[in-house]
Each structure stands twice: as structure tokens, then as C-alpha cells.
Structure 1
Amino acid sequence: MVRVVVGIGCDRGTATETVTAAVSAALAEAGLCAADVVALASIDLKRDEPALHALARVHGWPLVFYPATQLAAIPVPHPSEVVRHHTGTPAVAEAAALCRAHADSADLIIEKRRWRGEDGRNATVSIARLNE
């Protein structure tokens, strides 16, 4: 069994359905299921995002948050200056997944994938193999 961490970023106020669809699509692309996920990780700016808490609660996944300074120190394959402008770090989903997984970019199973929901909001998902 592969054990993974899902890193996620999203627009403010993203619907739970959008976040759920983004994570489900990424897991399916990787050939994984919810039982393979050991944690959901994001930036501390999203600590009050209801969709993230709802997703974690439904699946029983621990939800962890990291400060932008910690995420900014993690090398990622797809940094974004737009993301840096808004959050203080060039990556949220990839960096959060790698941080919680104690991994490096070679352990990314799914690199940054953006999902636009029916609510018009975006969610970004990355999946990293847990390095214990």
C-alpha cells in the first residue's frame, strides 16, 4: 500500500464540492484511493477554509497547515510568482505535500494540478509519497 500526503491550495471561499472533485481527480490520476492518504496539508492562510475542514472530516484525514516561510524554503518543480504575491510562498500544494511527507520533489506522484469548479473557484492539488 502506498501512503501519501495530499497538498492543497484553493481560492478563498472555494466550495467543498470543488475541493473534493480536485482531490478525487488527482487521486484517480495517480491510481490511488482515499485510504492511501495519511494527511491533507496546506498553508496556514487557509486554516479557516471550511472546504478543507469538511474534506478532512469526511475522510478522517488529519489536516495540517504550514507558514509561508516554511513552504517557501521547499524546492518545488512549479513555483509561481502569482502564488508568491498572494501568499508569500511560490508554492502551496506541492510544498505543503512535500513538507508533511518529509519528502523532496522526486517523491511527487502528482505535481501541481489546478481544478476549476462549477463555483468558478480554483483548487490546486499535489500528491507526495510519504517518506517515513
Structure 2
Amino acid sequence: MSQSLTEHRIIFKWTATVLAAVAVLVGAPLLLGRLTPAGTNWERLSDISQTYGTPLSIAALAGVAVSLVYQSRQTAVTYAEAQRASHRQLVIMAIDDPELMVCWEPFTVPVTALDAKQIAYTNLIVSNWSADYRLRRCPTW
């Protein structure tokens, strides 16, 4: 089975990226050894790099924490959207087929088929408002 040209390009780009990263990791110490003047105090340079490395590590950890919070929120939004889509589909099925309308909740007072459709449609509107409020998609609320 042959792969498309686009797939070959993607594989080539990833392979080239990995090889370039390996070359940088292997070549950096060698390049630094050649470029630094003789008599360089490597212990002092190591202490300086550790001093700068700690805040960078803290910043990276904070970035991961922010990313996880954002990801958690996105997961909650996706879950809420899936629930809402399921609810919407069920209500639309009930609106289209009056025999399914009685499955929702029996009305305590007699209503016409048109009234039942309007109530179901109003339910969709209120559910949409509720979802918008919970997902903070309404700037005026």
C-alpha cells in the first residue's frame, strides 16, 4: 500500500526535525568547547546556568499547570456541548413525532399538539440560555 506524497512529506519533516535536534544536542558541547577561551572557569559557568535554570524551570512548571487548567476547562466544555447536543436531538425527535412527546413528561393539563411543540421549543431556548450562562459565553451575564 503506497502512501500519498503529503504523508511522505510529513514523515520527512518529522525525521529531519528529530535528526536536527539530535545534532544540536550532540554538537553543542563540542562547539562550546572550541569557542570558549582557554582557562574558562567551568564551575562558575555551571553555577550561573543553575541560577538561571531554576526560574526557567519554575516558569515551565507554571506553564504546565496553566495548560492543565485550560485543558480541564476545555474538557468540561466539550462534555457540556455533547450533553446539550444529545438533549437537543431528543427534543427535536419529540417535536417531529407527537407520539414521542408524551415520553418526556405527561402534562398535568390537557394541551394541544401545537402547545406541546411550543413548550418543547421553549425548553430548547431555555436550555441554550442555561448552557451559555454555565459556559460563560454571554458577555452581558
- Give the TM bin, normalised by the shorter chain: under 0.3
TM-score after normalising by structure 2 = 0.16
Higher relative strand content: 1
Higher relative helix content: 2
Bigger radius of gyration: 2
Higher-RCO chain (CA-CA 8 Å, sequence separation at least 6) = 1
